[in-house]
Amino acid sequence: MLTVKFITDKSVWEKFLNDSDQANFLQSWNWGEFHQNLGRQIFRLGLVQNNQLIGLALLIKIKAKRAAYFECPGGPVLNWDDFNQVKTAIQLIKLVAKQESVSFVRIRPNIVKTNERMKQVKDLGFTKAPMHLHAETTWVLNLNQSEEELLKAMRKNTRYSIKQASKLGVEVIKSSDQADIDVLYDLQLEVVKRRNFTPFSKQHLLQQFQAFTADNQIQLFKAVYQGRILAIAFIIFYGQEAIYHYSGSSSQQRHIPASYALQWAAILEAKKRGLARYNFWGIAPTDNPRHRFSGVTLFKKGFGGQGVDYLPAHDLIIRPGYWFNFIIESWRRLSRHL
């Protein structure tokens, strides 16, 4: 019999997650801590069968103006090949959702998108969400290669830009100083002016940094040229993966290839830590040139790697008022070219 219990032991949670091939930072203990520190209620659900933990689901309660709902980014972590087990697990999650009076549950499991998986979630009663839940189309670099092999696999212009940055004297500095979150925030605002998108708040960046830094799961990389910080990256290290999560760059001296030096330094740090992958995170879908990520997609692909499409966000409807939210989010997606 499958039952649900609330997990309160970090070591139990982290061991199960990191033993899974679905391990990802969005279901990590520290991602839950980050949201708690933002004032959100979280639920760490463990799915138990015969006294053995067989699945996890980090649920984050989002209190939106329209209605409260659950987010489960990067999860739930289940054996998706066992339909009956997954069906029972979803029913248990639905019970918790009803108890918390949420309108819907939005999931984005850390599994690859296939026609079979799309049919599976539909058969489980889910509706394709009108809005994404974190990156769904990503670009991932295999780190099980030598530095020479990595450089050789890059686009010629990317390889040249890395070498040029070194010749020009661009220095990349690693930082664990939370004061540099101010730098990240300020440079992010400069990118906002150039590309016109909604920035993350300084509090959002700071709380996330604090949640992961105690376990050495985060590092800031600063590209410095002639005493000026031209670019900065916020890299999360979790499981077997390094994730290029946030960044910012100066509007000054744009001809200096600082961002290329930054990425190469982060890739080398991931290799030094013995990780298997470097995840450049979100890129634009190939069939949507108006997508907001279309501008950075060429940059990311230049480093080599391959695309990974995760199963897109799906919603489990709990209350009929969901459809009002569906209409609003559909309009937002179209207006923002998402």
Say if residue 323's pLDDT is above 80. Answer: no
- 64-79 mean pLDDT: 93
- Give the per-residue pLDDT at 287: 66
- 146-170 mean pLDDT: 97
- Total residue count of the chain as it appears in this document: 338
Q: Residue 249 is part of a domain; what is its CATH number? A: 3.40.630.30
CA atoms of 12 and 55, how far apart (whole Å): 12
Same domain, 129 and 186: no
Say if residue 330's pLDDT is above 70. Answer: no
- Give the three-state DSSP class for 132: coil
Say if residue 257's pLDDT is above 90. Answer: yes
Provide the residue range defining the domain that includes 122.
2-134+311-335
The 10 Å Cβ neighbour count of residue 122 is: 12
> Which residue is listed with tokens 């990156």?
135
- Give the per-residue pLDDT at 338: 58
Nearest in space to 299 (alpha carbons), one of 317, 283, 285, 310 = 283
Same domain, 232 and 284: yes
- Give the per-residue pLDDT at 192: 85
- Give the per-residue pLDDT at 322: 79
- Give the three-state DSSP class for 243: strand
Same domain, 12 and 104: yes
Same domain, 128 and 177: no
- Looking from the CA of 55 toward its CB, the CA atoms found within 13 Å total 26
> Which residue is listed with tokens 């590209």?
223
Say if residue 334's pLDDT is above 70. Answer: no
Same domain, 146 and 291: yes
Q: Please, what is the average pLDDT of the chain?
A: 94
> Which residue is listed with tokens 């230049």?
302
Same domain, 162 and 247: yes
> Where is pLDDT greater, at 336 or 199?
199
Same domain, 263 and 327: no
| Residue 21 φ then ψ, to 5° | -75, 0
Same domain, 92 and 143: no
Same domain, 58 and 113: yes
Say if residue 108's pLDDT is above 80. Answer: yes
Same domain, 21 and 153: no
pLDDT band, residue 336 (cuts 50/70/90): low
Say if residue 148's pLDDT is above 80. Answer: yes
What pTM value is reported for the model? 0.93
pLDDT band, residue 282 (cuts 50/70/90): very high
Q: In this structure, which amino acid lies at residue 116?
A: E
Same domain, 91 and 127: yes
